[in-house]
Amino acid sequence: MNVSTQVLESLVQALRLNADERAPLFFLARQQPPPARAMEPETVSPALQLFLDHQGLSPAFVTGRRWDVVAWNEAARVVFGDYEQMSAHERTSIWRMFTSPMYRQLLVDWEGHARRLFAQWRATCGRYPGDPWLTELIQDLMIASPEFRAWWPDHEVLSASEDHKIFKHPQGGSLVFELVTFQVFDAPDLTVTVYIPLDEADTPAKISQLLSS
Protein backbone atom coordinates (compact mmCIF):
# COMPACT_ATOMS: atom_id res chain seq x y z
CA MET A 1 0.00 0.00 0.00
CA ASN A 2 1.35 3.41 -1.01
CA VAL A 3 0.93 6.30 1.42
CA SER A 4 1.37 9.85 0.18
CA THR A 5 3.93 12.24 1.62
CA GLN A 6 1.08 14.57 2.58
CA VAL A 7 -0.55 11.86 4.70
CA LEU A 8 2.74 11.04 6.40
CA GLU A 9 3.44 14.70 7.16
CA SER A 10 -0.06 14.98 8.64
CA LEU A 11 0.74 12.04 10.93
CA VAL A 12 4.01 13.70 11.95
CA GLN A 13 2.13 16.83 13.00
CA ALA A 14 -0.73 14.94 14.68
CA LEU A 15 1.68 12.76 16.68
CA ARG A 16 4.04 15.70 17.31
CA LEU A 17 7.06 13.68 16.20
CA ASN A 18 10.53 15.16 16.33
CA ALA A 19 13.21 14.82 13.63
CA ASP A 20 14.50 11.48 14.94
CA GLU A 21 10.97 10.06 15.19
CA ARG A 22 9.89 11.43 11.81
CA ALA A 23 12.44 9.58 9.67
CA PRO A 24 11.47 6.00 10.72
CA LEU A 25 7.83 6.75 9.87
CA PHE A 26 8.82 7.48 6.27
CA PHE A 27 11.11 4.45 6.13
CA LEU A 28 8.27 2.20 7.31
CA ALA A 29 6.23 3.55 4.41
CA ARG A 30 9.22 2.82 2.13
CA GLN A 31 9.77 6.47 1.37
CA GLN A 32 12.72 8.80 1.71
CA PRO A 33 11.82 11.55 4.21
CA PRO A 34 11.71 14.92 2.44
CA PRO A 35 13.38 17.97 4.00
CA ALA A 36 11.31 19.34 6.88
CA ARG A 37 9.27 22.37 5.95
CA ALA A 38 9.56 25.73 7.61
CA MET A 39 6.70 26.71 9.86
CA GLU A 40 4.20 29.20 8.50
CA PRO A 41 3.13 32.29 10.50
CA GLU A 42 0.03 31.83 12.64
CA THR A 43 -3.00 34.04 13.13
CA VAL A 44 -5.99 33.95 15.45
CA SER A 45 -9.66 34.02 14.54
CA PRO A 46 -11.77 37.14 15.20
CA ALA A 47 -13.67 35.14 17.82
CA LEU A 48 -10.48 34.32 19.71
CA GLN A 49 -9.35 37.96 19.63
CA LEU A 50 -12.78 38.94 20.95
CA PHE A 51 -12.31 36.45 23.80
CA LEU A 52 -9.00 38.09 24.71
CA ASP A 53 -10.50 41.58 24.58
CA HIS A 54 -13.34 40.53 26.90
CA GLN A 55 -10.97 39.43 29.67
CA GLY A 56 -10.96 42.97 31.04
CA LEU A 57 -8.47 43.26 33.89
CA SER A 58 -6.94 39.84 33.13
CA PRO A 59 -3.83 40.02 30.94
CA ALA A 60 -4.34 37.44 28.20
CA PHE A 61 -2.44 36.44 25.08
CA VAL A 62 -2.10 33.66 22.51
CA THR A 63 1.21 31.99 21.68
CA GLY A 64 1.95 29.89 18.62
CA ARG A 65 4.06 26.79 18.07
CA ARG A 66 7.19 28.95 18.18
CA TRP A 67 6.10 30.31 21.58
CA ASP A 68 5.70 33.72 19.96
CA VAL A 69 2.85 35.98 21.05
CA VAL A 70 0.48 36.29 18.09
CA ALA A 71 -2.46 38.05 19.80
CA TRP A 72 -3.05 39.88 23.09
CA ASN A 73 -5.36 42.22 24.98
CA GLU A 74 -4.79 45.66 26.49
CA ALA A 75 -4.18 44.30 29.99
CA ALA A 76 -1.35 42.14 28.62
CA ARG A 77 0.12 45.17 26.89
CA VAL A 78 0.29 47.29 30.05
CA VAL A 79 1.77 44.46 32.13
CA PHE A 80 4.16 42.78 29.68
CA GLY A 81 4.91 45.54 27.18
CA ASP A 82 3.68 46.81 23.83
CA TYR A 83 3.85 43.77 21.56
CA GLU A 84 2.96 45.96 18.58
CA GLN A 85 6.36 47.66 18.87
CA MET A 86 8.34 44.43 19.31
CA SER A 87 10.34 42.53 16.72
CA ALA A 88 9.60 38.88 15.94
CA HIS A 89 12.30 37.77 18.38
CA GLU A 90 11.05 40.11 21.11
CA ARG A 91 7.53 38.67 20.87
CA THR A 92 8.92 35.20 21.55
CA SER A 93 8.57 34.14 25.19
CA ILE A 94 11.96 32.44 25.38
CA TRP A 95 13.79 35.43 23.84
CA ARG A 96 12.21 37.94 26.21
CA MET A 97 12.87 35.71 29.19
CA PHE A 98 16.59 35.56 28.52
CA THR A 99 17.32 38.98 27.01
CA SER A 100 14.81 41.49 28.41
CA PRO A 101 15.96 43.56 31.41
CA MET A 102 12.28 44.33 32.04
CA TYR A 103 11.51 40.60 32.49
CA ARG A 104 14.35 40.18 34.95
CA GLN A 105 12.83 43.00 37.01
CA LEU A 106 9.24 41.84 36.53
CA LEU A 107 9.72 38.25 37.70
CA VAL A 108 10.37 37.94 41.42
CA ASP A 109 12.08 34.54 40.93
CA TRP A 110 13.61 35.10 37.50
CA GLU A 111 15.94 32.08 37.49
CA GLY A 112 13.20 29.68 38.58
CA HIS A 113 10.86 30.97 35.89
CA ALA A 114 13.62 30.95 33.27
CA ARG A 115 14.75 27.38 33.99
CA ARG A 116 11.19 26.09 33.88
CA LEU A 117 10.35 27.92 30.66
CA PHE A 118 13.63 26.80 29.08
CA ALA A 119 12.96 23.13 29.87
CA GLN A 120 9.42 23.30 28.50
CA TRP A 121 10.48 25.19 25.37
CA ARG A 122 13.46 22.90 24.75
CA ALA A 123 11.14 19.89 24.81
CA THR A 124 9.07 21.33 21.95
CA CYS A 125 11.98 22.31 19.67
CA GLY A 126 12.38 18.81 18.24
CA ARG A 127 8.84 18.79 16.91
CA TYR A 128 9.71 21.28 14.18
CA PRO A 129 13.08 20.28 12.70
CA GLY A 130 14.52 22.25 9.82
CA ASP A 131 12.73 25.51 10.55
CA PRO A 132 15.21 28.29 9.72
CA TRP A 133 13.50 30.78 12.03
CA LEU A 134 13.95 28.45 15.01
CA THR A 135 17.57 27.74 14.08
CA GLU A 136 18.30 31.46 13.87
CA LEU A 137 16.60 32.10 17.21
CA ILE A 138 18.72 29.47 18.97
CA GLN A 139 21.91 30.86 17.44
CA ASP A 140 20.99 34.40 18.48
CA LEU A 141 20.16 33.29 22.03
CA MET A 142 23.52 31.52 22.29
CA ILE A 143 25.17 34.87 21.60
CA ALA A 144 22.82 37.10 23.58
CA SER A 145 22.40 35.15 26.83
CA PRO A 146 25.13 33.56 28.99
CA GLU A 147 22.47 31.60 30.92
CA PHE A 148 20.91 30.18 27.75
CA ARG A 149 24.35 29.19 26.49
CA ALA A 150 25.22 27.52 29.81
CA TRP A 151 21.92 25.65 30.11
CA TRP A 152 21.67 24.50 26.49
CA PRO A 153 23.68 21.25 26.98
CA ASP A 154 21.39 20.25 29.87
CA HIS A 155 18.32 18.11 29.36
CA GLU A 156 16.69 18.94 32.66
CA VAL A 157 13.08 17.90 33.19
CA LEU A 158 11.14 20.25 35.44
CA SER A 159 7.61 20.29 36.76
CA ALA A 160 4.91 22.39 35.16
CA SER A 161 4.93 26.12 35.74
CA GLU A 162 3.53 27.35 39.02
CA ASP A 163 -0.05 28.63 38.72
CA HIS A 164 0.50 31.39 41.30
CA LYS A 165 2.48 34.28 39.80
CA ILE A 166 3.95 37.29 41.59
CA PHE A 167 5.31 40.16 39.50
CA LYS A 168 7.09 43.36 40.43
CA HIS A 169 5.87 45.82 37.83
CA PRO A 170 7.90 49.05 37.33
CA GLN A 171 4.76 51.22 37.51
CA GLY A 172 2.19 49.00 39.23
CA GLY A 173 4.37 47.51 41.93
CA SER A 174 3.53 44.04 43.26
CA LEU A 175 0.98 42.17 41.12
CA VAL A 176 -0.40 38.73 41.99
CA PHE A 177 -2.14 36.44 39.50
CA GLU A 178 -3.55 32.97 39.10
CA LEU A 179 -2.48 31.49 35.77
CA VAL A 180 -4.73 29.55 33.39
CA THR A 181 -3.55 28.06 30.08
CA PHE A 182 -5.37 25.98 27.48
CA GLN A 183 -5.08 24.91 23.86
CA VAL A 184 -7.44 26.13 21.16
CA PHE A 185 -9.64 23.21 20.10
CA ASP A 186 -9.56 23.83 16.34
CA ALA A 187 -5.94 25.09 16.34
CA PRO A 188 -4.02 22.92 18.85
CA ASP A 189 -0.70 24.67 18.16
CA LEU A 190 -2.16 27.85 19.67
CA THR A 191 -2.07 28.25 23.45
CA VAL A 192 -4.17 30.78 25.35
CA THR A 193 -2.70 32.18 28.58
CA VAL A 194 -4.82 34.19 31.00
CA TYR A 195 -3.51 35.87 34.16
CA ILE A 196 -6.40 36.28 36.60
CA PRO A 197 -5.69 39.19 39.00
CA LEU A 198 -6.13 38.31 42.66
CA ASP A 199 -7.24 40.67 45.41
CA GLU A 200 -3.87 40.07 47.04
CA ALA A 201 -1.72 43.22 46.74
CA ASP A 202 -4.80 45.03 45.39
CA THR A 203 -3.94 43.71 41.92
CA PRO A 204 -7.27 44.43 40.12
CA ALA A 205 -7.16 48.10 41.12
CA LYS A 206 -3.55 48.39 40.00
CA ILE A 207 -4.34 46.85 36.60
CA SER A 208 -7.25 49.24 36.23
CA GLN A 209 -4.96 52.16 37.00
CA LEU A 210 -2.36 50.97 34.47
CA LEU A 211 -5.07 50.69 31.81
CA SER A 212 -6.32 54.21 32.46
CA SER A 213 -2.89 55.86 32.53
- Assign residue 176 the CATH number of its domain: 3.30.450.180
Banded model confidence at residue 166, pLDDT cuts 50, 70, 90? very high
Q: Are residues 52 and 12 both part of a single domain? A: no
Q: Are residues 167 and 122 in the same domain?
A: yes
Question: Number of structural domains, the chain?
Answer: 2
Verify that 2 and 86 share a domain, yes or no: no
200 shares a domain with 146: yes
Q: How confident is the model at residue 143 (pLDDT cuts 50, 70, 90)?
A: very high
Mean pLDDT throughout 122-143?
84
Domain that holds residue 126: 46-212
**124: in domain:** yes
Residues 13 and 108 in one domain: no
Domain shared by 147 and 80, yes or no? yes
Q: pTM, whole model, 2 decimals?
A: 0.79
In a domain, 109, yes or no: yes
Average pLDDT, the chain: 86
| pLDDT digits 0-9 by tens, 173-191 | 999 999 999 999 988 889 9
SS (H, E, C) the chain: CCCCHHHHHHHHHHHCCCHHHHHHHHHHCCCCCCCCCCCCCCCCCHHHHHHHHCCCCCCEEEECCCCEEEEECHHHHHHHCCHHHCCCCCCEHHHHHHHCHHHHHHECCHHHHHHHHHHHHHHHHCCCCCCHHHHHHHHHHHHHCHHHHHHCCCCCCCCCCCCEEEEEECCCEEEEEEEEEEEECCEEEEEEEEEEECCHHHHHHHHHHHHHC
Please check whether residues 153 and 208 belong to one and the same domain: yes
4 and 63 assigned to the same domain:
no
Residue 114 lies in a domain: yes
* Same-domain pairing of 94 and 27: no
40 assigned to some structural domain: no
The pLDDT, as a whole number, for residue 80 is 97
Position 39 in a domain: no
Same domain? 74 vs 165: yes
